[in-house]
Structure 1
Amino acid sequence: MSGDDDRKSELAREHKERQEKRAAEETSKTRRNTFIGAGVAVVVVAGGIFAATTLVNKDPEPAAAAASASPSASASPSLPTPSSSPAKKGPVTCTYKRDDSVPNKFVGLPGKKPNMKLKKMTIVTNRGTVGVDLMTDAAPCSVNSLSFLAKKKFYDNMKCHRLVTPDVSGVHLLQCGDPQAKADGKNPTDGQGTAGYIYGDENMDLPLVKGVVFMTQPGDAAGHNNSQFAISLSDENTQIGQGYNVVGIVSEGMDMLLGLAKSGQDLIVNPNDITGDGGTTVPKNPVIIKRITFS
């Protein structure tokens, strides 16, 4: 074989190696970012541009670095408890700001003084009941918002608009709280609706292990918590890192939640969902919130 032929073979081999490396990097990146939406989906509507309310990987690199730096980091983290986060010192005042930039169902603003005695949230659905032990001391304004909306019957007869399973996007969770959602696999704007106000971040340092209940907000938009919340159904969800308001831990109904969809075969894929890929699924047998109560 001539020198030219040798050089051509070498260049072809290097080209193939670069292609394989790029493909591997893209696969890794997609798996990391495909949580609920592939990022912040920017949507043009009458009156302006807004970011779809989705849960995304805010900062995957630090989480990945921590996992590689410490052998123990790869082990399943322990389940937090209501006392896992420090209580806020002194009197608590919550601030809620009206936000009409996305589709919403406005029923008023919560009061500024939260009820610090609330210990449990009960979500009654058509598929079963979920009990949540609250972290009110660490997330008083989040709990106050949820309680206010529950009293206003905001969540009554609402369909949970997104269920993600590991075989679809590498994570496992149920997301609810969009008053506009149809959860039929057809509505392109599922996941954008809110209660028409936003509020700040709190209790954001806990891993999203199985059983954690947390508020969702647009990616890269700190302090934009709203009516939407999610329930983590797998320890693998820790791959997206921290940075979401954790409000409590599931204490009842986890078996029911894990049985909502055993695989992607139990889901309806919405190809028109503008929030991106990965999280554009709903259960074929819908999850409908009948009511939410606090005690």
Structure 2
Amino acid sequence: MASSKDRQRKLARAKYDRQMARRAERERVRRRVMAGVGTGLALVLIVGGGLWIGGVFDSDDTTSTEAGDTCIWTPLDASKNTDLTEVGTPETTNLPESGTETMSITTNQGDPITVSLDVASAPCAAASLSYLAGKQFYDDTDCYEIMAIGAVHCGDPSGTGQGGPTYTFYDENTPVIPDPSASASATESAVLYPKGTVTLIGNPAGSNGSQFLIFFKDYAPTTEAPYSIVGQVTGGDDTLAKIGKITTVADDAGEKVKPKEKITIQSLTVGADDAATVAPSASAQS
């Protein structure tokens, strides 16, 4: 698990690594220039080295770096996991990195659940959800677990916990557990996942795909904060509360997390138009 996390974080820092590699190479060139033999050769190298250090010869690469990857998607081999669904990968550049987007989840349990996606804090998670929604990845899939921590688990078409797209990406916007020696007031405020929080859930942790949780009650973890936050429920509270009250039965592994009543995502959409789509239905009900 640790090696997987390290690999993803290294990929996420690819642009930084390239910059550092270029800087190191420039420094080596500078040292060679300063230690060059022959006055004429040294002069040529000094001029050339000065231009190199100034970035004259790597202007194209500098442009590429400045418009570098916003997100890195680590590919998975579907032939090694038949629960994965081949859908390609989202773009890596020119992705939104500020503001919010609206995610609308229509289920068989009532009014749509609307979520404000925090693009500024979790741009890659928002980009992935938007991409998969555009592929109708979530449509007609079941939320197959109601977890004891007070969250419904959705986003795996296979219903096994092993499914998702053929890529993963790293954690963003993961809350921090308060210091156990902190004051009582700090300890009391350790609800890191308030009711209505939407997070990603990776398998293994830190390796995210399509799976997500919607918390229908507050959750205050005591040892680690395993989920990265992507948004907050802004509508459909009654539907979420209804889902949270569904009785659970044992699944194939013997864990009492399987909803006795099906929770089916009929459609999931992401985008600026979603708010306009949801608004008429709200006004029609008033």
Q: TM-score range by the shorter chain?
A: 0.5 to 0.7
- Report the identity percentage: 30
Per the alignment, residue 110 of structure 1 pairs with 90
Contact 2:105 2:265 in 1 (8 A): no
Per the alignment, residue 75 of structure 2 pairs with 98
List alignment gaps of at least 5 residues for structure 2.
2-66, 177-191, 273-286
Question: Distance between the aligned counterparts of 2:260 and 2:240, measured in 1?
Answer: 11
Larger Rg: 2
What is the CA distance between 1:247 and its match in structure 2?
0.5
Per the alignment, residue 119 of structure 1 pairs with 101
Aligned pairs (5 A) from 1:244-255: 244-255=227-238
User: Per-residue CA shift, 1:150-187, capped at 9, x if unaligned?
Assistant: 001111111111123xxxx3x21111111212xxxxxx
Q: TM-score, normalised by structure 2?
A: 0.59
List alignment gaps of at least 5 residues for structure 1.
1-39, 41-89, 182-189
Aligned pairs (5 A) from 1:1-295: 93-100=70-77, 101-102=80-81, 103-113=83-93, 114-116=95-97, 118-127=100-109, 128-164=111-147, 169=148, 171-181=149-159, 190-205=160-175, 207-219=192-204, 221-222=205-206, 224-239=207-222, 241-262=224-245, 266-270=247-251, 272-273=252-253, 277-278=255-256, 280-295=257-272
What is the CA distance between 1:91 and its match in structure 2?
7.2
SS at the partner of 1:110? Answer: coil
SS at the partner of 2:219? Answer: helix
User: Per-residue CA shift, 1:11-52, capped at 9, x if unaligned?
Assistant: xxxxxxxxxxxxxxxxxxxxxxxxxxxxx9xxxxxxxxxxxx
Contact 1:179 1:195 in 2 (8 A): no
Contact 2:142 2:263 in 1 (8 A): yes
Q: TM-score, normalised by structure 1?
A: 0.57
Larger helix share, 1 or 2: 2
Residues 287 and 137 from structure 1, CA distance in 2 versus in 1: closer, same or farther, beyond 3 angstroms? Answer: same
What is the CA distance between 1:140 and its match in structure 2?
0.1
Question: Distance between the aligned counterparts of 2:125 and 2:171, measured in 1?
Answer: 8
The one-letter amino acid of 2:261's match is K
SS at the partner of 1:235? Answer: coil
Question: Distance between the aligned counterparts of 2:229 and 2:167, measured in 1?
Answer: 19
What is the CA distance between 1:121 and its match in structure 2?
1.2
Work out which structure has the larger RCO, using CA pairs closer than 8 Å and 6 or more positions apart in sequence.
1
The one-letter amino acid of 2:269's match is I
Contact 1:163 1:283 in 2 (8 A): no
Residues 135 and 153 from structure 1, CA distance in 2 versus in 1: closer, same or farther, beyond 3 angstroms? Answer: same
Per the alignment, residue 16 of structure 2 pairs with none
Q: How many residues align?
A: 187
RMSD of Structure 2 on Structure 1 (CA) = 2.5
Contact 1:233 1:257 in 2 (8 A): yes
What is the CA distance between 1:237 and its match in structure 2?
4.7
Contact 1:157 1:291 in 2 (8 A): no
The one-letter amino acid of 2:263's match is P
What is the CA distance between 1:239 and its match in structure 2?
4.4
Residues 204 and 258 from structure 1, CA distance in 2 versus in 1: closer, same or farther, beyond 3 angstroms? Answer: same
